[in-house]
Structures are given as C-alpha cells and as structure tokens.
Amino acid sequence: MENNYKLSPSDLTFLWDECRRCFYLKVVRKFNRPSMVFPKIFSTIDLLMKDFFYELPADEISPELPPGRVAYASKWVYSESISFPNRSSSCYIRGIFDTVLEFDDGSFAVVDFKTTKPKPEHISFYSRQLNAYSYSLENPNPGKFSLSPITKMGLLCVEPVSMNRTENGNLAYEGDVTWLECPKDDNSFLDFLDTVLAVLDSPDPPMANPNCGFCQYRENARQTGF
C-alpha cells in the first residue's frame, strides 16, 4: 500500500536521533509519545527573540551576512510530495520555521533561534532541520508559502552570561550572541529522506534505542501487566 508520510522538521532532528522506534510509531502508527511539560519560559524567550529581531537589518543577526532584513517569522511550511524511484511510498514536510531573512539581492536565509551555549556539533545536528525548512520553501505544495532561492541557513545562539538591574528596577539578562552558519545541501538531505522512508516502509517498527526511557516504560508495563 502506497503511503504519503507527514514529516516534522523537528522530529527529523530530535525524535529520529533519540529513538527510531518512537519515530516509526508516531509517523506510521499515529502512536505518539505522551506529551511532556514544556516550560513556558522557553516559549516566552523564543517569542521575545522573534519580536526583537523582526524587520531589523540582517547584520543585527551577524555582520557576516549580506545586506538585508529580517522579513518573516513563525510561518508554516508545507512541501510538495517527495518520492524516490526505489520507494513505493512518499513523504512531505510540514512545520513552522523561526525566522527568514530577505537579502537585498532577492535571496533568503533560514534562521533558527537557540538559547544555548554554541557548540560545533550543533551545526551538523540542526542542519537537518534547517534543510527541511529550506527544501519546503523552495519546493512547496501548490498554493503553500514559498520563498526562493534559499542561499544561507544558520543558528543564532544566545547564551545567558550575566544579569543586571535596569533603571526602572527590573532585572535583565545579558547574553553572548553567536552566529553558526549551517551548510545547505539538498542532495544529502534527500539521501537522508530516502533512508527515513526505508525505515517507515518496514512492516514492523525497528528495535528501540536501549536508552529510550519511553520504550523502557512501555516494555516494563507489558512485563508487569500494568
């Protein structure tokens, strides 16, 4: 039976690496992990960052970037159906990006905000998510939001390092800001999606990651009868 799987950019980064069994169960069987409590403060910080940078010049993100401005924030992407000659099934990408810059030459950059200490490994880890947004913007489902060409992608990392009291008596965090540019590579991303479809087309879910707490809990529940 041919399937057209819906894939989330964040799941392609986090859930795929954490546990492919959980990834399979969510996408194929519609069996999600239990919802986790996500501290509201991180959503608040994310919104503040988007509001602060919106419509600012691109060099406020990084002086390394070409002339331009922060043009879009928190918009849905919805890609065309993606298929491969050796697969009967296909997939599409749907999710919400953080921010997109528009450069003066008419090209664009996809940017993700992170409240974290920047690390070199963040570049390879988050590139998959950014490539998913980029591909969807350049290859949208008919009638969906599109931007092209996407020429740059990257992470804006803000690491809180100190706290000061403002003139009105409030407290304010100060943070070091680091721009991490990520490689845009459609061919490698499509090769990765081919691997994902190979897993999803299997009649049975893959083995659980031994370190996956969700799978351990489900197995313990089965063994105890609870």
Task: Going from the first residue of the chain to its last (226 residues), give the mean pLDDT of each consecutive group of 10, the final group possibly shorter.
Answer: 91 97 97 84 89 96 97 98 95 98 98 95 96 98 98 96 93 94 97 97 96 94 89
Architecture of domain 4-224: Alpha-Beta Complex (3.90)
The token pair at 106 is 């008419």
Domain chopping of the chain, boundaries: 4-224
Contact criterion met (CB below 8 Å) for 148 and 108: yes
Cα separation, 122 vs 37, whole angstroms: 24
Distance, first Cα to last Cα, the chain? 34
Task: Say which residue the tokens 């000061």 belong to.
Answer: 164
- Give residue 8's pLDDT: 98
- Give residue 90's pLDDT: 97
What is the reported pTM?
0.94
Cα separation, 82 vs 11, whole angstroms: 17
Task: Say which residue the tokens 């370190």 belong to.
Answer: 211
Dihedral through CA 153, CA 159, CA 163, CA 166, nearest 10? 0
Residue 71 to residues 102, 105, 130, 138, 165, Cα–Cα distance (Å): 6, 14, 17, 16, 32
Residues whose CB falls within 8 Å of the CB of residue 23, separated by 6 or more in sequence, listed in order = 11, 15, 16, 199
pLDDT tens digit string along 70-105?
A: 999 999 999 999 999 999 999 999 999 999 999 999
Cα separation, 207 vs 112, whole angstroms: 32
